[in-house]
Amino acid sequence: MVPQDTGWSWMVLIGASLQLMLTIGILKSSGILFVAFQERFDSSATTTSLLSTVQNLTYGVTAMFVMTIGVKLTTCRNLVFLGTLLNSAGFIITSKAVSIDVLLLSYGVLNELFQCVSVACTFYIVGCLHDVTGNYVVSYHLLGSIVILGGIIMLFLPRPKTKEIEIT
51-71 pLDDT, tens per residue? 888 888 888 888 888 888 888
Does pLDDT of 138 surpass 80?
no
Residue 145 pLDDT class (50, 70, 90 cuts): low
> What angle (nearest 5°) sits at the alpha carbon of residue 121, between those of residues 115 and 124?
145
Helix (H, G, I), strand (E, B) or coil at 157: coil
CA 102 from chain centre, in angstroms, equals 20
Does the pTM surpass 0.75? The reply is no
Does pLDDT of 82 surpass 70?
yes
In-domain check, residue 157: no
In-domain check, residue 57: yes
Q: What is the pLDDT of residue 24?
A: 74
Does pLDDT of 47 surpass 80?
yes
In-domain check, residue 24: yes
Does pLDDT of 95 surpass 80?
yes
Question: In total, how many domains does the chain have?
Answer: 1
- Report, as an integer, the average pLDDT of 79-103: 88
Residue 13's nearest CA partner among 167, 117, 141, 134 is 141
In-domain check, residue 168: no
Residue 102's nearest CA partner among 112, 90, 111, 94 is 94
In-domain check, residue 93: yes
In-domain check, residue 79: yes
Domain with 65 in it = 9-150
